[in-house]
Amino acid sequence: MAEQTSSIGNTRFIIPALVILFFIGAPLIIRDEYFLHVLIMILYFAYMATAWNILCGYVGQLSLGHSALSGIGGYVSVLLFINLGLTPWVGMFIGALFTVVVAVIIGFPCFRLRGPYFALTTIAFAEILRIWVENNEEFLGVKLKGAMGLLVPLKGNAPALFQFTHKQPYYYIILAMLLAAMAITFWMERSRLGFYIKAIRGDQDAAEALGIYSTRYMLTAMGISAFLTALGGSFYAQFFRYINPERNMGIDLSIEIALMGIVGGQGTVLGPVLGAFLLTPAGEISRAYLGGKLMGLHLILYGVVLVLSMLFLPKGLIQPVRYLYNKALSRL
Protein backbone atom coordinates (compact mmCIF):
# COMPACT_ATOMS: atom_id res chain seq x y z
CA MET A 1 0.00 0.00 0.00
CA ALA A 2 2.85 2.39 0.91
CA GLU A 3 4.63 1.62 -2.35
CA GLN A 4 1.40 2.27 -4.32
CA THR A 5 0.86 5.61 -2.56
CA SER A 6 4.48 6.59 -3.25
CA SER A 7 4.08 5.66 -6.92
CA ILE A 8 0.93 7.77 -7.27
CA GLY A 9 2.67 10.68 -5.51
CA ASN A 10 5.60 10.50 -7.91
CA THR A 11 3.27 10.31 -10.91
CA ARG A 12 1.50 13.48 -9.75
CA PHE A 13 4.80 15.34 -10.23
CA ILE A 14 5.87 13.49 -13.37
CA ILE A 15 2.78 14.39 -15.44
CA PRO A 16 2.99 18.18 -14.81
CA ALA A 17 6.75 18.02 -15.48
CA LEU A 18 6.14 16.34 -18.84
CA VAL A 19 3.56 18.98 -19.75
CA ILE A 20 6.04 21.75 -18.90
CA LEU A 21 8.76 20.05 -20.95
CA PHE A 22 6.35 19.82 -23.89
CA PHE A 23 5.71 23.55 -23.81
CA ILE A 24 9.40 24.30 -23.44
CA GLY A 25 10.09 22.30 -26.59
CA ALA A 26 7.02 23.49 -28.54
CA PRO A 27 8.85 26.26 -30.50
CA LEU A 28 11.29 23.65 -31.77
CA ILE A 29 8.35 21.76 -33.30
CA ILE A 30 6.12 24.66 -34.39
CA ARG A 31 7.83 26.43 -37.28
CA ASP A 32 4.87 28.34 -38.64
CA GLU A 33 4.95 31.93 -37.33
CA TYR A 34 1.16 32.23 -37.22
CA PHE A 35 0.66 29.14 -35.07
CA LEU A 36 3.46 30.26 -32.77
CA HIS A 37 1.72 33.64 -32.51
CA VAL A 38 -1.54 31.91 -31.53
CA LEU A 39 0.29 29.87 -28.90
CA ILE A 40 1.84 33.05 -27.48
CA MET A 41 -1.61 34.62 -27.26
CA ILE A 42 -2.96 31.52 -25.51
CA LEU A 43 -0.20 31.76 -22.90
CA TYR A 44 -0.75 35.53 -22.60
CA PHE A 45 -4.48 35.15 -21.91
CA ALA A 46 -3.79 32.21 -19.57
CA TYR A 47 -1.44 34.51 -17.66
CA MET A 48 -3.94 37.39 -17.56
CA ALA A 49 -6.78 35.08 -16.47
CA THR A 50 -4.52 33.68 -13.73
CA ALA A 51 -3.82 37.21 -12.50
CA TRP A 52 -7.56 37.99 -12.58
CA ASN A 53 -8.31 34.75 -10.72
CA ILE A 54 -6.21 35.79 -7.71
CA LEU A 55 -8.70 38.54 -6.93
CA CYS A 56 -11.95 37.34 -8.43
CA GLY A 57 -11.63 33.57 -8.17
CA TYR A 58 -10.41 33.44 -4.57
CA VAL A 59 -11.87 36.60 -3.04
CA GLY A 60 -15.14 36.22 -4.95
CA GLN A 61 -15.39 39.85 -6.12
CA LEU A 62 -16.14 39.96 -9.86
CA SER A 63 -13.96 42.52 -11.60
CA LEU A 64 -14.72 43.62 -15.15
CA GLY A 65 -12.15 46.41 -15.11
CA HIS A 66 -8.85 44.53 -15.20
CA SER A 67 -8.17 45.97 -18.65
CA ALA A 68 -7.57 49.33 -16.93
CA LEU A 69 -4.83 47.77 -14.79
CA SER A 70 -3.29 46.21 -17.89
CA GLY A 71 -3.44 49.53 -19.74
CA ILE A 72 -1.88 51.53 -16.91
CA GLY A 73 1.07 49.15 -16.66
CA GLY A 74 1.55 49.08 -20.43
CA TYR A 75 1.33 52.85 -20.85
CA VAL A 76 3.77 53.58 -18.01
CA SER A 77 6.41 51.19 -19.36
CA VAL A 78 6.04 52.48 -22.94
CA LEU A 79 6.14 56.14 -21.87
CA LEU A 80 9.26 55.53 -19.79
CA PHE A 81 10.89 53.88 -22.81
CA ILE A 82 9.89 56.64 -25.24
CA ASN A 83 10.68 59.65 -23.04
CA LEU A 84 13.54 58.44 -20.85
CA GLY A 85 14.95 55.55 -22.86
CA LEU A 86 14.41 53.26 -19.86
CA THR A 87 14.46 49.61 -20.85
CA PRO A 88 11.03 47.92 -20.56
CA TRP A 89 12.66 45.22 -18.44
CA VAL A 90 12.78 47.86 -15.69
CA GLY A 91 9.88 50.02 -16.84
CA MET A 92 7.41 47.14 -16.64
CA PHE A 93 8.07 46.71 -12.91
CA ILE A 94 7.81 50.46 -12.29
CA GLY A 95 4.51 50.41 -14.19
CA ALA A 96 3.35 47.42 -12.12
CA LEU A 97 4.16 49.17 -8.83
CA PHE A 98 2.36 52.32 -10.00
CA THR A 99 -0.65 50.17 -10.96
CA VAL A 100 -0.70 48.58 -7.50
CA VAL A 101 -0.92 52.05 -5.91
CA VAL A 102 -3.82 52.98 -8.20
CA ALA A 103 -5.56 49.63 -7.57
CA VAL A 104 -5.31 50.00 -3.78
CA ILE A 105 -6.61 53.59 -3.91
CA ILE A 106 -9.56 52.51 -6.05
CA GLY A 107 -10.08 49.22 -4.23
CA PHE A 108 -10.27 50.60 -0.68
CA PRO A 109 -13.66 52.30 -1.10
CA CYS A 110 -14.88 49.76 -3.69
CA PHE A 111 -14.50 46.80 -1.34
CA ARG A 112 -17.24 48.32 0.81
CA LEU A 113 -19.57 47.42 -2.07
CA ARG A 114 -20.81 43.87 -2.57
CA GLY A 115 -22.49 41.82 -5.27
CA PRO A 116 -23.05 43.46 -8.65
CA TYR A 117 -22.14 46.92 -7.35
CA PHE A 118 -18.43 46.07 -7.20
CA ALA A 119 -18.49 44.73 -10.78
CA LEU A 120 -20.32 47.85 -12.00
CA THR A 121 -17.78 50.08 -10.24
CA THR A 122 -14.84 48.34 -11.93
CA ILE A 123 -16.52 48.71 -15.33
CA ALA A 124 -17.08 52.42 -14.66
CA PHE A 125 -13.44 52.94 -13.61
CA ALA A 126 -12.08 51.19 -16.71
CA GLU A 127 -14.41 53.03 -19.08
CA ILE A 128 -13.72 56.44 -17.53
CA LEU A 129 -9.98 55.84 -17.83
CA ARG A 130 -10.29 54.65 -21.44
CA ILE A 131 -12.41 57.63 -22.49
CA TRP A 132 -10.05 60.05 -20.73
CA VAL A 133 -6.96 58.62 -22.46
CA GLU A 134 -8.72 58.55 -25.85
CA ASN A 135 -9.57 62.25 -25.56
CA ASN A 136 -6.24 63.57 -24.30
CA GLU A 137 -3.28 64.11 -26.58
CA GLU A 138 -0.97 64.85 -23.66
CA PHE A 139 -0.94 65.03 -19.88
CA LEU A 140 1.49 67.17 -17.86
CA GLY A 141 3.62 67.58 -20.96
CA VAL A 142 3.73 63.83 -21.68
CA LYS A 143 2.31 62.87 -25.07
CA LEU A 144 -0.40 60.21 -24.88
CA LYS A 145 -1.61 60.70 -28.49
CA GLY A 146 -5.21 59.97 -27.51
CA ALA A 147 -7.08 57.33 -29.49
CA MET A 148 -4.14 56.95 -31.90
CA GLY A 149 -2.10 55.21 -29.23
CA LEU A 150 1.65 54.91 -28.85
CA LEU A 151 4.14 53.15 -31.10
CA VAL A 152 7.05 51.50 -29.33
CA PRO A 153 10.29 52.76 -30.95
CA LEU A 154 11.75 49.98 -33.09
CA LYS A 155 15.35 49.15 -32.18
CA GLY A 156 15.75 45.90 -34.14
CA ASN A 157 17.12 42.84 -32.39
CA ALA A 158 17.77 44.36 -28.97
CA PRO A 159 17.21 41.86 -26.14
CA ALA A 160 18.26 44.46 -23.54
CA LEU A 161 15.34 46.61 -24.74
CA PHE A 162 12.80 43.74 -24.83
CA GLN A 163 12.85 43.58 -28.64
CA PHE A 164 13.51 40.50 -30.75
CA THR A 165 13.32 39.80 -34.47
CA HIS A 166 11.70 36.38 -33.93
CA LYS A 167 8.72 35.27 -31.83
CA GLN A 168 10.50 32.48 -29.92
CA PRO A 169 11.94 34.76 -27.19
CA TYR A 170 8.50 36.29 -26.57
CA TYR A 171 7.10 32.77 -26.28
CA TYR A 172 9.57 31.80 -23.56
CA ILE A 173 9.08 35.11 -21.72
CA ILE A 174 5.30 34.72 -21.49
CA LEU A 175 5.69 31.01 -20.62
CA ALA A 176 7.97 31.96 -17.72
CA MET A 177 5.51 34.66 -16.63
CA LEU A 178 2.63 32.17 -16.68
CA LEU A 179 4.54 29.57 -14.66
CA ALA A 180 5.51 32.26 -12.14
CA ALA A 181 1.88 33.43 -11.82
CA MET A 182 0.70 29.85 -11.33
CA ALA A 183 3.40 29.30 -8.70
CA ILE A 184 2.28 32.46 -6.86
CA THR A 185 -1.33 31.25 -6.99
CA PHE A 186 -0.28 27.79 -5.74
CA TRP A 187 1.64 29.35 -2.84
CA MET A 188 -1.14 31.79 -2.01
CA GLU A 189 -3.76 29.02 -2.03
CA ARG A 190 -1.89 27.22 0.74
CA SER A 191 -0.81 30.27 2.75
CA ARG A 192 -2.57 32.11 5.57
CA LEU A 193 -3.65 34.74 3.02
CA GLY A 194 -5.32 32.01 0.95
CA PHE A 195 -7.23 30.60 3.92
CA TYR A 196 -8.40 34.06 4.95
CA ILE A 197 -9.63 35.16 1.53
CA LYS A 198 -11.42 31.82 1.05
CA ALA A 199 -13.15 32.43 4.37
CA ILE A 200 -14.08 35.94 3.21
CA ARG A 201 -15.46 34.55 -0.02
CA GLY A 202 -17.53 31.97 1.84
CA ASP A 203 -19.07 34.44 4.31
CA GLN A 204 -17.50 37.86 4.79
CA ASP A 205 -19.57 38.75 7.84
CA ALA A 206 -18.69 35.48 9.58
CA ALA A 207 -14.99 35.93 8.72
CA GLU A 208 -14.99 39.43 10.20
CA ALA A 209 -16.76 38.14 13.30
CA LEU A 210 -13.83 35.73 13.76
CA GLY A 211 -11.38 38.64 13.70
CA ILE A 212 -10.31 38.61 10.04
CA TYR A 213 -9.81 42.17 8.77
CA SER A 214 -11.39 41.53 5.38
CA THR A 215 -10.43 44.82 3.71
CA ARG A 216 -6.72 44.28 4.38
CA TYR A 217 -6.64 40.81 2.86
CA MET A 218 -8.83 41.73 -0.09
CA LEU A 219 -6.54 44.69 -0.84
CA THR A 220 -3.52 42.38 -0.59
CA ALA A 221 -5.07 40.01 -3.13
CA MET A 222 -5.97 42.98 -5.34
CA GLY A 223 -2.41 44.30 -5.13
CA ILE A 224 -0.95 40.97 -6.25
CA SER A 225 -3.52 40.68 -9.04
CA ALA A 226 -2.89 44.27 -10.20
CA PHE A 227 0.90 43.80 -10.18
CA LEU A 228 0.72 40.69 -12.36
CA THR A 229 -1.92 42.20 -14.67
CA ALA A 230 0.22 45.30 -15.24
CA LEU A 231 3.21 43.13 -16.17
CA GLY A 232 0.96 41.39 -18.70
CA GLY A 233 -0.03 44.77 -20.16
CA SER A 234 3.63 45.68 -20.59
CA PHE A 235 4.35 42.37 -22.29
CA TYR A 236 1.46 42.93 -24.71
CA ALA A 237 2.70 46.41 -25.60
CA GLN A 238 6.24 45.19 -26.25
CA PHE A 239 5.11 42.14 -28.19
CA PHE A 240 2.91 44.14 -30.57
CA ARG A 241 5.12 47.25 -30.24
CA TYR A 242 1.97 49.31 -29.94
CA ILE A 243 -0.55 50.27 -27.28
CA ASN A 244 -3.86 52.11 -27.50
CA PRO A 245 -6.75 52.70 -25.08
CA GLU A 246 -9.42 50.89 -27.12
CA ARG A 247 -7.71 47.50 -27.04
CA ASN A 248 -5.62 47.75 -23.88
CA MET A 249 -8.20 49.48 -21.67
CA GLY A 250 -11.47 48.48 -23.34
CA ILE A 251 -14.26 46.43 -21.84
CA ASP A 252 -13.68 43.69 -24.45
CA LEU A 253 -10.35 42.75 -22.88
CA SER A 254 -11.84 42.65 -19.37
CA ILE A 255 -14.66 40.39 -20.53
CA GLU A 256 -12.29 38.03 -22.36
CA ILE A 257 -10.08 37.66 -19.29
CA ALA A 258 -13.04 37.12 -16.95
CA LEU A 259 -14.70 34.56 -19.24
CA MET A 260 -11.53 32.48 -19.41
CA GLY A 261 -11.31 32.39 -15.63
CA ILE A 262 -15.00 31.55 -15.22
CA VAL A 263 -15.16 28.91 -17.98
CA GLY A 264 -11.92 27.27 -16.87
CA GLY A 265 -12.78 27.20 -13.18
CA GLN A 266 -12.53 30.01 -10.63
CA GLY A 267 -10.52 29.62 -7.47
CA THR A 268 -8.18 26.98 -8.91
CA VAL A 269 -4.59 27.12 -10.16
CA LEU A 270 -5.22 25.35 -13.46
CA GLY A 271 -8.74 26.57 -14.27
CA PRO A 272 -7.87 29.90 -15.97
CA VAL A 273 -5.23 28.15 -18.09
CA LEU A 274 -7.80 25.62 -19.33
CA GLY A 275 -10.20 28.46 -20.15
CA ALA A 276 -7.54 30.25 -22.18
CA PHE A 277 -6.65 27.09 -24.10
CA LEU A 278 -10.31 26.65 -25.06
CA LEU A 279 -11.37 30.23 -25.82
CA THR A 280 -8.24 31.90 -27.22
CA PRO A 281 -7.85 29.65 -30.31
CA ALA A 282 -11.57 30.09 -31.08
CA GLY A 283 -11.22 33.85 -30.83
CA GLU A 284 -7.99 34.04 -32.84
CA ILE A 285 -9.35 31.84 -35.64
CA SER A 286 -12.64 33.75 -35.86
CA ARG A 287 -10.80 37.09 -35.95
CA ALA A 288 -8.33 35.85 -38.55
CA TYR A 289 -10.83 34.31 -40.98
CA LEU A 290 -14.10 36.11 -40.27
CA GLY A 291 -13.08 39.31 -38.49
CA GLY A 292 -13.56 41.52 -41.53
CA LYS A 293 -17.09 40.23 -42.19
CA LEU A 294 -18.47 39.50 -38.74
CA MET A 295 -16.91 41.88 -36.22
CA GLY A 296 -17.23 40.71 -32.64
CA LEU A 297 -17.91 37.09 -33.61
CA HIS A 298 -15.33 35.91 -31.08
CA LEU A 299 -17.35 37.53 -28.27
CA ILE A 300 -20.47 35.68 -29.48
CA LEU A 301 -18.50 32.42 -29.40
CA TYR A 302 -17.32 33.25 -25.89
CA GLY A 303 -20.92 33.85 -24.83
CA VAL A 304 -22.09 30.53 -26.25
CA VAL A 305 -19.26 28.68 -24.50
CA LEU A 306 -20.05 30.48 -21.23
CA VAL A 307 -23.74 29.52 -21.40
CA LEU A 308 -22.90 25.89 -22.16
CA SER A 309 -20.33 25.85 -19.39
CA MET A 310 -22.77 27.25 -16.83
CA LEU A 311 -25.39 24.67 -17.85
CA PHE A 312 -23.24 21.54 -18.00
CA LEU A 313 -20.02 22.41 -16.13
CA PRO A 314 -20.93 24.89 -13.36
CA LYS A 315 -17.49 24.43 -11.75
CA GLY A 316 -15.68 24.95 -15.03
CA LEU A 317 -13.50 22.81 -17.27
CA ILE A 318 -11.36 21.94 -14.28
CA GLN A 319 -14.12 19.56 -13.09
CA PRO A 320 -13.88 16.93 -15.89
CA VAL A 321 -10.12 17.41 -16.23
CA ARG A 322 -9.60 16.74 -12.53
CA TYR A 323 -11.86 13.67 -12.73
CA LEU A 324 -9.97 12.22 -15.71
CA TYR A 325 -6.61 13.02 -14.12
CA ASN A 326 -7.48 11.28 -10.84
CA LYS A 327 -8.94 8.32 -12.75
CA ALA A 328 -5.72 7.98 -14.78
CA LEU A 329 -3.62 8.11 -11.59
CA SER A 330 -5.72 5.37 -9.96
CA ARG A 331 -4.93 3.01 -12.85
CA LEU A 332 -1.17 3.52 -12.62
Tell me what the pLDDT averaged over the chain comes to.
84
Predicted confidence at residue 1, as pLDDT, reads 45
- State pLDDT tens for residues 240-269: 999 998 888 888 889 889 988 988 888 888
Strands (E), the chain: 138-139, 142-143, 150-151, 242-243
pTM, rounded to two decimals: 0.90
For the chain, percent of residues with pLDDT exceeding 70: 89
145 burial type by CB count under 10 A (0-12 exposed, 13-18 middle, 19+ buried): middle
Predicted confidence at residue 182, as pLDDT, reads 93
Query: How sure is the predictor about 238, in pLDDT bands with cuts at 50, 70 and 90?
Result: very high
Spatial CA neighbour of 240 closest among 168, 320, 303, 151: 151
- DSSP output for 98-158: HHHHHHHHHHHHHTT--THHHHHHHHHHHHHHHHHHHT-SEETTEE--GGG-EEPPP-SSB
**Distance (Å, whole) CA 157 – CA 160:** 9
Q: How far is CA 243 from CA 36, 71, 128, 163, in A?
A: 21, 8, 18, 15
